[in-house]
Structure 1
């Protein structure tokens, strides 16, 4: 599946994908997604109708703000492709490491992040609406281990 940069015109589609991918208490609407895209250093990648990732880079660090894959497109490698492409984009923007949070209860996402080389570096107690802890993960973005981002 082809990934492309996401912009302001994509906000409604991104919000629809987020709503399909997350439980109601964790869904982001158009206002929140638009605000994330507008953050200094913010960027997004979209696989039309299937999934997207929003990230930002600041002071040599990157953060995955959200990564959403529509349920109909899960277990096909899209989450890994979104994460890997975001990591490449973050490294190209000067980040040396990438951080993200994942629910301790989300086994599929935890497996995806572990396979990508993310390591747990912290925990946010009762972070999610369902009371689950957020695991704080870090991925080193060594320049020699990442390919150039797609044009």
Structure 2
């Protein structure tokens, strides 16, 4: 388990793999964060498929979590979520950087993700981390009781190629 200080330097976050015992709790957090959340089954399937799924805990409480899928030559961030009261503390950036490192070590040349066009904080984070828009998916996100359908931007970041054994 790795521990790093958040950007505020006030409290440490412990990082570890997402485990079966976490799934119900993470799915409940997800429902509180996203209008169209991943389900318990989505998280369970991600673990069963061997995707890189990680959580960050502060004081024993999961405050950030996400899922990275690796494929030959590329990676895709499928989920990256920070609980509301832990935002703007560098946790999403820290997890994203972990995922990028995993992708590079696996030999991925590119990393992709999709994000709502209205999610300005996420778009700013991804731009700062070198992601560029490569496509737009019209009406990608379904409508909810409080919002109409929404487009997604597909973002890509090129990754440096690492050779086997390179740290």
TM-score bucket of the superposed structures, by smaller chain: 0.7 to 0.9
Length-normalised TM-score, structure 1? 0.88
Cα 1:17–1:55 change in 2 (3 A) is same
RMSD, matched Cα? 1.6
Which residue is 1:131 aligned to? Answer: 149
Q: Which runs of 5+ in 1 are unaligned?
A: none
**Given the alignment, which residue of 48, 61, 66 partners 2:79?**
66
- Segments of 4+ moved more than 4 angstroms: none
Higher strand share: 2
Using the TM superposition, give the Cα deviation of residue 10 of structure 1 relative to its aligned residue in structure 2, in angstroms.
2.1
State how far apart, in whole Å, the 1-side matches of 2:32 and 2:94 are.
19
Higher relative contact order, structure no. (Cα contacts within 8 Å, ≥ 6 residues apart): 1
1:1-151 paired onto structure 2 within 5 Å: 1-23=13-35, 26-40=36-50, 42-48=51-57, 49-129=62-142, 130-143=148-161
State how far apart, in whole Å, the 2-side matches of 1:137 and 1:108 are.
14
Q: Which runs of 5+ in 2 are unaligned?
A: 1-12, 143-147
Using the TM superposition, give the Cα deviation of residue 143 of structure 1 relative to its aligned residue in structure 2, in angstroms.
4.1
- Equivalent residues of 2:46, 2:53 under 8 A apart: no
Higher helix share: 1
Larger radius of gyration: 2
Using the TM superposition, give the Cα deviation of residue 75 of structure 1 relative to its aligned residue in structure 2, in angstroms.
0.5
- Equivalent residues of 1:6, 1:46 under 8 A apart: yes
Aligned length: 143
